Amino acid sequence: MSGWSEKDIPDQSGRVAVVTGANSGIGYVAARELARKGARVVLACRSEARGAAARGRMVVEVRGAEVDLALLDLGDLGSVRQFAATFPEGRLDLLVNNAGVMALPYGTTADGFETQFGVNHLGHFALTGLLLPTLLATPGARVVTVSSTMHSMSNIDINDLNSERSYRRWTAYARSKTANLLFTHELARRLAAHGSDVVAAAAHPGYAATNLQTAGPRMADRKLSEWFMRIGNRFFAQSADAGALPTLYAATAPDVRPDSFTGPSLAGWRGSPASSWRAPWTLNDQAAGRLWDASEQLTGVTYDALKA
């Protein structure tokens, strides 16, 4: 992995990729670089205006890029189902579960789930399950889910997944990122038991400057916190381009193993992609299984193709 960069991405010609939250930040960079290497990329975005602007930018930056826009609101299971039902491609080589929200004031999704858990985990759980038949039918497909080092702040509470007993915005964020890793762990286990060659892996960007850091403080009208986040992004964070490298590595490098977790090499903060530390609770088979069962119940999306 040493010194790995976007120049090392293998040729992606003939491959189809879906990147959620591809209108900005790490998702935009990941989608752009996949397109640069020849993939047909679907930008799965909540806002049609921001998605269209991103697509317009991308086709200028990458001559000949094959880029489509499709609307997807991960906070609305109806939207997730609509996206999957109208997905036009006969193959899906790469699903990048990138979109996310961070440290928002308490709120709920269209289906009544706590927003961070609902968007960061349940939306992607449902999306992956609904696209699973296409993934299984595509040789060498991958599912890459973007987590965070912040997962180490808290394990999930299986008895209070929607933070109904108490809500702390950073704890809820950490739990949603733990859920991302438990999902990857259980998905990898089930794919292996099914005999599938689909690889489920996870990645994180370290500290990368995106609009993720400022959205929460702005929504809560916490001007000092928003200013602090902007200062951090400017002077301490690495760029979104650098932050996207672990995701791109997990998505394209030939030696990526199921249930791996890739992040920046320098203390998980910045640098080229490397194997990343993860909290022991994210490798707990029992917890992963319980979260999976709860997620199927909450979303109504069952992974029938992986059942015995």
Q: How far apart are CA 42 and CA 71, in angstroms?
A: 10
pLDDT in tens, 15-70: 999 999 999 999 999 999 999 999 999 999 999 999 999 999 999 999 999 999 99
Asked if pLDDT for residue 165 goes beyond 80, the answer is yes
Asked if pLDDT for residue 301 goes beyond 90, the answer is yes
State whether the Cα torsion 276-277-279-285 is positive or negative: positive
- pLDDT cut 70: percent of the chain above it: 88
For the residues 143-167, what does the mean pLDDT come to?
Answer: 97
State whether the Cα torsion 112-79-43-136 is positive or negative: positive
Residue 206's pLDDT band, with cuts at 50, 70 and 90, is: confident
Q: Is 173 a catalytic residue?
A: yes
Sequence-distant (≥ 6) Cβ neighbours of residue 154 within 8 angstroms: 171, 174, 175, 178
Of 173, 207, 249, 303, which residue is the catalytic one? 173
Name 97's bridge partners: 145
Q: What's the distance, CA 13 to chain centroid?
A: 23
Output the average pLDDT for the chain: 90
Pairing of strands 40-45, 16-20: parallel
In degrees, to the nearest 5, what angle opens at C-alpha 245 toward C-alphas 244 and 246? 95
Asked if pLDDT for residue 202 goes beyond 70, the answer is yes
Q: Which pLDDT score is estimated for 308?
A: 61
> Helix/strand/coil (H, E, C) string of the chain?
CCCCCHHHCCCCCCCEEEEECCCCHHHHHHHHHHHHCCCEEEEEECCHHHHHHHHHHHHHHCCCCEEEEEECCCCCHHHHHHHHHCCCCCCCCEEEECCCCCCCCCCECCCCCEHHHHHHHHHHHHHHHHHHHHHHCCCCCEEEEECCHHHHHCCCCCCCCCCCCCCCHHHHHHHHHHHHHHHHHHHHHHHHHHCCCCEEEEECCCCECCCHHHHHHHHCCCHHHHHHHHHHHHHCCECHHHHCHHHHHHHHCCCCCCCCEEEEEECCCEEEEEECCCCHHHHCHHHHHHHHHHHHHHHCCCCHHHCC
Q: How far apart are CA 291 and CA 180, in angstroms?
A: 10
Asked if pLDDT for residue 220 goes beyond 60, the answer is no
Asked if pLDDT for residue 215 goes beyond 60, the answer is no
Asked if pLDDT for residue 234 goes beyond 60, the answer is no
How many other CB atoms sit within 10 Å of the CB of residue 136? 17
- Ranking 32-36, 169-173, 210-214, 272-276 by mean pLDDT, the lowest is 210-214
Q: Which pLDDT score is estimated for 28?
A: 97
Q: How far apart are CA 245 and CA 10, in angstroms?
A: 13
For the residues 216-236, what does the mean pLDDT come to?
Answer: 42
Q: Which pLDDT score is estimated for 138?
A: 98
pLDDT in tens, 259-281: 999 999 875 566 789 999 999 99
Q: How far apart are CA 172 and CA 220, in angstroms?
A: 16
Sequence-distant (≥ 6) Cβ neighbours of residue 234 within 8 angstroms: 209
Q: Which pLDDT score is estimated for 244?
A: 94
Residue 3's pLDDT band, with cuts at 50, 70 and 90, is: confident
pTM above 0.85, yes or no: yes
Q: How far apart are CA 301 and CA 175, in angstroms?
A: 21
pLDDT in tens, 64-114: 999 999 999 999 999 999 999 999 888 999 999 999 999 999 999 999 999
N-term to C-term CA, the chain: 36
Q: Which pLDDT score is estimated for 2?
A: 63
Asked if pLDDT for residue 217 goes beyond 60, the answer is no
- Residue 154 sits at φ, ψ, to 5 deg, of -165, 140
**Look-up of token digits 């690495």:** 238
Residue 238's pLDDT band, with cuts at 50, 70 and 90, is: low
Asked if pLDDT for residue 213 goes beyond 80, the answer is no
For the residues 11-15, what does the mean pLDDT come to?
Answer: 98
